[in-house]
Amino acid sequence: MSVAVQAKIDPMSQFMIHPVGSETLTGSPFMFTNSSLWMMIVLAVILVFMWGGLKRQIVPGRWQAAVEGYVGFCDNITRSSIGPEGRKYLPWVFTAFTFILFANIIGAMPFAIIPGGHPFTVTSQFIVTGTMSLTSFAIVLAVGFWRHGLHFFSLFWAKDAPFILALFIFPIELISFLVRPFSLGLRPFIAMFAGHILLDVFGNFVVQGINAGGLGYAISVLAFLFVTFVNALELLVGAIQAYVFALLTALYINDAVNLH
């Protein structure tokens, strides 16, 4: 068998969902998968992090100060985007931002240096980010119809435009509104998906260059530098995508609350 075949690159294998342990749970058709495992790890890390903010010391330590500053940052997103009523919607905006942020960061950690410790980035699955975006969209619809009833449809009507022009604008605005949950969940998914593929491909270049020897060592060094850069960039993009998701969710809720 040739070296090319032995060193076949399969960047999509890292996104495969497979059972962990037994094939199925006892008495249940459901499986405990690597996705479920890493989702539980993300939730556990979040709980440990937030536990540090529950001490309520008059003079906070570093851990408590970090948690309080983190919560204050999320609160500022809702207040600046929605206004005084933003505090009502902080729980979901905070939950979405925290989960996506921690999932992105943990998924980029080099746990693969430990045998069997390859991380699974749950936000690289559109079913996860898509479900979160649908939840945000459901909140927007619920708030909009609960507060304004059928007057909520005025959100899509161009008030200052001539009547004929407004008739053409209405379906365009409605369609763009209905596309929001798809685009909202697509951003973090694409960012993590593409970043992990790049890391896998150029990581394989490092190994293959070393195995080839000669000029391959130089290629390995260049590929390693690129992997380092992409990994650092992916951490930054992961944080930005979490912020964008939370900010857009807050802005969409603001549209439903104030009909802007």
How many degrees, rounded to 5, is the angle at CA 68 between CA 52 and CA 132?
90
Q: What is the 3-state secondary structure (H, E, C) of 109-156?
A: CCHHHCCCCCCCCHHHCHHHHHHHHHHHHHHHHHHHHHHHHHHHHHHH
Amino acid type, 11: P
Q: Where are the domains of the chain?
A: 33-258
d(CA 94, CA 237): 18
Q: What pLDDT, in 10s, does the model give residues 198-250?
A: 888 888 888 888 888 778 788 888 888 888 888 888 899 999 999 999 999 99
Q: What is the 3-state secondary structure (H, E, C) of 33-54?
A: EHHHHHHHHHHHHHHHHHHHHH
pLDDT score for 45: 94
The 10 Å CB-count burial string (b at 16+, else e) for 98-120 is bbbbbbbbbbbeeeeeeeeeebb
Q: What local confidence, expressed as pLDDT, does residue 136 receive?
A: 95
Query: pLDDT value at position 26?
Result: 56
- Cβ atoms of residues 242 and 188 within 8 Å: yes
One-letter identity of residue 212: A
Write out pLDDT tens, residues 15-72: 788 777 655 555 566 777 888 888 999 999 999 998 877 777 777 788 888 888 999 9
DSSP-assigned states of every residue in 61-86: -HHHHHHHHHHHHHHHHHHHHH-GGG
Q: How far is the C-alpha of 110 from the C-alpha of 195, rounded, in Å?
A: 14
Whether the CB-CB separation of 220 and 203 falls below 8 Å is answered with no
